[in-house]
Amino acid sequence: MVIRMKSSLQYGTATQPLNEFIRSIRLVRDEILMLDQTLLPIEEETLVIRDYRQCIEAIKMLRIRGAPAIGVAAGAAAWLAAMEFEGKGDYLELMHKALDEIEASRPTAVNLFKATQAIRKIIQGNDAGRILEFTENLIDYEIEACKNMGIHGAEEIKGEKLGILTHCNTGSLATVGIGTALGVIRTIAQDRPVHVFVDETRPLLQGARLTTWELMQSGIPCTLITDNMAASVIATGAVDCVITGADRIAANGDSANKIGTYGLSILAKHHDIPLYIVAPESTIDRDTPTGEQIDIEERKPEEVVGFREVRTAPNGCKVYNPAFDVTPAENIAAIITNTGIWHPGS
């Protein structure tokens, strides 16, 4: 049987320019404005956060998510804590406790820890202004990093017309710029026709809910598939490369990303197509030698046994729910960063 899926696909270029992107988090006056990603794409609701504990809850509950955006949210949470504790005699003790609480919110994304560690070094007393400046500088860094990842990725990834498969969400919602993997796709799509296959990304459907929404807003042709369709779609020849993000990259290039990425890397290797990881330099954890040392977050069983209060599994069934897996460096064609290209498996 001959499958002709690739020839029937609609390829196209982006209709939305790169200088237009969603603002997942903003710092205004003495509050944080945050787009609640758990409600997308059905509702677009902006949270107004004035307490650092609310910001921690937002990180835990994935109201904000994606390694770069989580790093910014950590800085913003620390800024709110500093404003609350200013003038108190035990300010430093309270701030270090608040930073401990922020770090406990998500264990895998290294950007969060880099933000809190940097803030620990600058706090001395009445530091809200300094922490705000740090966080605003971090936002500027991430916006510029996304732009540069897009440039480097568009130069690295060849082909006049590209079928691309991506996993989870790596766009503006996951960053504070045009995105990491999705930023590369958007940059390519400014000049070349593309078609993007979007894994739905079980169990929380970030691909279905968020990535398709962003791609459609950008005017980029895309097709939503379930995670277990990826092998079949790749086998048709419709996919020229796989592009994903990362939440933590070990010193040897092993990359932790949303659960399912490791499986895609095996499929890509088997079918002789490249898999690219796209992440800013801030996501590389040079203190972690290999992927074996990366702490993988395990989330609540409720995420697997149902979705949005609709139960799909029997009561009492056992659940294993790791949020991430680790793709070994040898399965990665290139890691695309804001400072350049790294070929860890070569």
How far apart (Å, rounded) are the C-alpha atoms in residues 236 and 239? 8
Three-state SS annotation for 201-216: CCCCCHHHHHHHHHHH
Cα three-residue angle 116-173-104, rounded to 5 degrees: 30
**Contact at 8 Å (CB) between 268 and 324?**
no
Looking at residue 199, the DSSP 8-state letter turns out to be E
pLDDT digits (tens, 9 = 90+) for 140-166: 999 999 999 999 999 999 999 999 999
First to last CA, the chain: 36
pLDDT digits (tens, 9 = 90+) for 293-338: 999 999 999 999 998 888 999 999 999 999 999 999 999 999 999 9
pLDDT digits (tens, 9 = 90+) for 29-69: 899 999 999 999 999 999 999 999 999 999 999 999 998 99
Looking at residue 79, the DSSP 8-state letter turns out to be H
Place of tokens 């294993």: 320
More confident residue, 126 or 269: 269
Looking at residue 12, the DSSP 8-state letter turns out to be B
Q: Determine the distance from the C-alpha atom of residue 200 to the mean position of all C-alpha atoms in its chain, rounded to a whole number.
A: 15
Residue 109 is predicted with a pLDDT of 79
What is the mean pLDDT of the segment spanning 101-108?
93
What is the mean pLDDT of the segment spanning 234-253?
97
How far apart (Å, rounded) are the C-alpha atoms in residues 151 and 278? 12
State pTM to two decimals: 0.92
Residue 2 is predicted with a pLDDT of 52
Three-state SS annotation for 278-307: ECCHHHEECCCCCHHHCCCCECCCHHHHEE
**Contact at 8 Å (CB) between 195 and 9?**
yes
State the pLDDT confidence band at 4, using cuts at 50, 70 and 90: low
How far apart (Å, rounded) are the C-alpha atoms in residues 280 and 257? 14
Contacts of residue 343, defined as CB under 8 A and 6 or more positions apart, other chains included, come to 333, 334, 335
Reduce the DSSP state of residue 258 to 3 states and report it: strand
Closest CA to 198 of 215, 219, 186, 175: 215
How far apart (Å, rounded) are the C-alpha atoms in residues 48 and 8? 45
**Contact at 8 Å (CB) between 283 and 170?**
no
**Contact at 8 Å (CB) between 327 and 250?**
no
Span of 4-13, 59-68, 255-264, 268-277 with lowest mean pLDDT: 4-13
Closest CA to 240 of 208, 196, 279: 196
Q: Determine the distance from the C-alpha atom of residue 282 to the mean position of all C-alpha atoms in its chain, rounded to a whole number.
A: 13
Q: Are strands 162-166 and 194-199 parallel, antiparallel or unpaired?
A: parallel
pLDDT above 50 for 221: yes
- Using CA atoms of 333, 337, 342, 344 in order, give the dihedral in degrees to the nearest 10: -60
Residue 346 is predicted with a pLDDT of 65
β-strand partners of 225: 199
β-strand partners of 311: 306
> Would you mind telling me the total number of residues written for the chain in this entry?
346
Residue 87 is predicted with a pLDDT of 85
Active site amino acids = 247
Residue 3 is predicted with a pLDDT of 58
pLDDT above 50 for 10: yes
State the pLDDT confidence band at 80, using cuts at 50, 70 and 90: very high
State the pLDDT confidence band at 345, using cuts at 50, 70 and 90: low
Residue 247 is predicted with a pLDDT of 93
State the pLDDT confidence band at 126, using cuts at 50, 70 and 90: confident
Residue 1 is predicted with a pLDDT of 47
pLDDT above 80 for 263: yes
Arithmetic mean of pLDDT over the chain? 94
